[in-house]
Structure 1
């Protein structure tokens, strides 16, 4: 099982000091967080994609390419790559290059985005979000898998005799997760292709996440990719820790109360009760996270949001120390207990390359094209 962190890249004023980091500082801090994540033994670092203030990660592959040069082991991913407003040809090119630069330490999460104005900025209509998702992803898959692509669709110009350059590393496309907070159609799309499904799991109650994951697992089995428990699932989560739980609550409260997304809404206590947000000791984070398996089953990737709402870099790095020293080692051990042998491991380039080898028995694996 993989453990890591993701960032949304917000530039937010620290409510305790009144200090607002500049964009250059926020970007350099993000690089420092990724490097620290590898240092403390985490498996994945992921960045969001946003094209509007107060966010800075408008070019995820540029950021991840830089981080790839400064790291050796950690998997580099996106917390959302906008399949609706990015051209699929450019996505295919960018992530193929990132694969080569990182030695295969790259995958991506596709999403539709939740900022309405972004669609017209890139010449698209938000009312066509799901048709755009389906069409663009269908083309993206072909670009990574076919040497020469002839294609015609609704939302972009046709392709005639197009060959992607560079080809994916080892001719193995990056693993794709379809990320969603609320949309069943995204779970259906992931299941149809046998891809991973990532339930962002940070704003909604457990009952909602349970329904999305169960739908994905049922449809994964329906499309012939394996049993429901062999489906590849990832979850998001939010944590803030101090060794003393009340210290964590007291320190995090002003950040929560002024956060751009949920600030000035429900109380910290109510939001923690209704969603997976866990503010407390490392032991409380372990206990809460282990509970995710009760409604998501045995899953493959757990990512935590730890750097939002104006938290200073020093505090974020302290969170990473706690994750690496006191939380993730326990989670690795506990999640392994009772894990059925047929539950697949988290996808990596090496594993996908092995499955793509003739005779490896990968026809019904997570990346197969089995359908009705």
Structure 2
């Protein structure tokens, strides 16, 4: 089980102090948070991709490469790589380059994003969102697996005898997760290729998450990749912890109430009841997170959103310390009763080993 954090890179005013970090401060904080995540024993750090205020996360490969140079073990991933508005040739090249720099510690989550104006900024139409996701990934999939690609589609100029460089490290592309909150077409896409499916899992109730993951699992089996319970599933989540649950609620409430994504809406109590957001003691976060298996089955990756809504860096680092304290119990809880045939999340090493086995007579 891989456990880690993801960030959307928002630049948000701290409602308790009125201070808004500069873009420079927010970007450097992202690096500090990633290094702390490795220090406390987490497995993954994933960064989002946004091209509009109030975010400072337009180039995840740049930031991840900088993090790679200062870490040794943690897997570098994305919370969203915009497959719809980023040219698949650039994705193929940039993430292969990052894969080499990080010695294979790279995978990525493809998504459509949630900001409509991004589409025309990059010459696309939001009404083509699903088509772009499907067509662009079909090309990306080939670019990483074929040395010379000739291709024609609807949404970009054709390619004739094109070779993407550098080639993937050890001839093995980075593992791909397809991220979606509400689109069954994306669950189907992940299942068709036998890739991972990452459900954001931070805004919707458990019943919705159950339906999306179940659809992906059924279609994974339908496409011949193995039994449904061997499908590769990741979940997002949100948590805010203090040793005393009442202190956690009191401290987090102003951040929740003013957060750009859900502020000025449902109360904190209503939102924590209806969604996986957990605000309380480390034990409460532990128990609720382990309960996710009740409606998605055994899964492979759990990421937490912790550095959003204007929370200061000091507070985020304290949150990571608390997460590190319950990490052994999280691992033990996820391992308990897990069938032996349920796979772990793929890594570069396991993918290389599988590729070698396929070519061994």
TM over 0.5: yes
Could you tell me which residue of structure 1 aligns to residue 226 of structure 2?
Answer: 226
Distance 1:261 1:20 in 2: 17
Provide the residue aligned with 1:341 in structure 2: 340
DSSP-derived class of the 1:155 partner: coil
Task: Output the CA distance in 2 between the equivalents of 1:17 and 1:164.
Answer: 48
Equivalent residues in 2 for 1:117-136 (5 A)? 117-136=117-136
Q: Is the Cα contact below 8 Å between 1:10 and 1:308 reproduced in 2? A: yes
CA distance in 2, matches of 1:129, 1:359: 35
1:330 aligns with 2:325: no
- Which residue of structure 2 lines up, in the alignment, with residue 253 of structure 1? 253
**Counterpart for residue 369 of structure 1:** none
Measure, in 2, the Cα distance between the counterparts of 1:358 and 1:248: 49
What is the number of equivalent residue pairs in this alignment? 360
The Cα shift of 1:346 comes to 1.2
- Structure 2: distance between partners of 1:310 and 1:257: 11
Would you say 1:268 and 2:268 are equivalent positions? Answer: yes
Rounded to whole Å, the distance in 2 between the matches of 1:231 and 1:154 is 31
Alignment match, 1:290: 290
| Offset at residue 328 of structure 1 (A) | 1.6
For residue 196 of structure 1, report the CA deviation from its aligned partner: 0.1
Partner residue of 1:368? none
Note the residue ranges of structure 2 that are not aligned, 5 or more in a row. Answer: none
Contact persistence 1:354–1:360 (CA under 8 A): no
Work out the CA distance in 1 between the residues paired with 2:359 and 2:201.
34
Q: 1:164 Cα deviation (Å)?
A: 1.1
| Aligned residue in 1 for 2:101 | 101
Alignment of 1:1-372 (within 5 A): 1-325=1-325, 327-359=326-358
Task: Determine helix, strand or coil for the equivalent of 2:10.
Answer: coil
Q: Is the 8 A contact 1:15 1:255 kept in 2?
A: yes
Q: Deviations over 1:207-252 (max 9, x none)?
A: 0000000000000000000000000000000000000000000000
Q: 2: CA distance between counterparts of 1:292 and 1:194?
A: 22
In the aligned structure 1, how far is the partner of 2:297 from the partner of 2:110? 22
Distance 1:49 1:347 in 2: 23
Output the CA distance in 2 between the equivalents of 1:102 and 1:239: 29
User: C-alpha distance in 1, partners of 2:5/2:131?
Assistant: 30
Question: 1:55-87, CA deviations, whole angstroms, 9 ceiling, x for partnerless residues?
Answer: 000000001010000100000000000000000
Cα distance in 2 for residues equivalent to 1:79 and 1:94:
16
Measure how far apart 1:358 and its partner are.
Answer: 3.6
SS in 2 for 1:176: strand
d(CA) in 1 for partners of 2:292 and 2:173? 30
Following superposition, the deviation at residue 359 of structure 1 comes to 4.1
Q: Report SS of the residue matched to 1:70.
A: coil
Structure 1: distance between partners of 2:276 and 2:357:
42
Compute the displacement of 1:329 (Å).
Answer: 1.1
**Secondary structure at the counterpart of residue 157 of structure 2:** coil
Q: Please list the CA deviations of residues 140-173 of structure 1 after superposition, one character each: whole Å capped at 9, or x if unmatched.
A: 0000000100000111111011111100000000
Consecutive unaligned residues of structure 1, counting only runs of 5 or more, are 362-372
1:366 alignment counterpart: none
Secondary structure of 1:224's counterpart equals coil
2:17 counterpart SS class: coil
TM-score (norm 2): 0.99
Q: Deviations over 1:88-121 (max 9, x none)?
A: 0000000000000000000000001110000000
Asked if the contact 1:50/1:58 (under 8 Å) is kept, the reply is yes
Looking at structure 1, the residues matched to 253 and 131 of structure 2 have their Cα atoms a distance apart, in angstroms, of 41
